[in-house]
Amino acid sequence: MSQQQTKAGNIIYTIGSLYNSLTPSSKRIADYVVSNPEQISKLSIAGLSQTVNAGDATIIRFCRTLGFKGYQDFKLELAVEVSTSEVVDSSILDTDITSDDSVEILGKKLQSAIGNVLSETLMLVDSSQLEAAASSLMQANSVYFFGVGSSGISAESAKYKYMRIGLNVDAFSNNHFMYIKASLLQPGDVAIGISHSGESAETTKALKLAKNNGATTIAITHNPRSTMAEYADNVLVNGNNQGQLQGDSIGTKVSQLFVLDLLYTLLVQRDMSGTMVNKLKTTQAISD
């Protein structure tokens, strides 16, 4: 994958998406920034270096990893973000559950968790990457979704949805079937790997096989610097809502499906009449 801009509208979200691929010293910087974003504007690079026990060069590399030219650019952007962020009532909207929560509070926390992960995904996903992915799908001979575990469920859901608008599409969640299909792909085919961590060995291998055979590859993951993303022509980053309500049941699944729906909606927008005709045909076939 060619190096892409990782800076997003929300710096804290971007740090979260890249966290697992950071070096130990960069993780110390990230931990401090996430916990004390309002303090950064008061610190020189030397002051931050002393606080987090990391060299000036490491701090500059950290800032460049996020898409900034250097520490001053990062510092100014974060200060703007902190000053414009909304104050949230954490007692109500904290997504960690407690034994004292009523059904109503649990419902609000669940609603908040879903809202947060959708907002985060919108901040993180790169519109140019989405546009490029949509263009590849519009021209594709065949489209294949790969994913294991809960990501396999997302892949199956996408298969059903994209099939309804006329794409030649299939989904695989068994690693042997993924490898067989990926090894037979050709130029003009599109392989879409879905893995929240981006480190699923099975999905990464399938995407690598597809790319080596000339297929266009797309990764849907929370980590744009993950191993799977290395074999993707386009990377679509999904959110990662934190807390006990996050996980396969809520945050991961919702964010993956949201990205897939964004991509689907782009396809419908680009070929409104054709996709609507196909969807009407499939709807009538099911209802009959």
pLDDT less than 70: residues of the chain: 1-9, 85-96, 241-249, 288
What confidence score (pLDDT) does residue 238 get?
Answer: 92
Residue 168: helix, strand or coil by DSSP? coil
pLDDT in tens, 22-61: 999 999 999 999 999 999 999 999 999 999 999 999 999 9
pLDDT in tens, 188-197: 999 999 999 9
Strands (E), the chain: 142-146, 169-172, 189-194, 216-221, 234-237
Element (H, E) at 260: helix 251-270
Amino acid identity, position 268:
V
What confidence score (pLDDT) does residue 3 get?
Answer: 44
Count of residues in the chain: 288
Residue 6: helix, strand or coil by DSSP? coil
What confidence score (pLDDT) does residue 274 get?
Answer: 82
Residue 219's Cβ-count burial label (10 Å; 0-12, 13-18, 19+) is buried
What domains can you pick out in the chain, each with its CATH number?
11-84 (1.10.10.10), 124-287 (3.40.50.10490)
How far does Cα 41 stand from its chain's mean position?
29
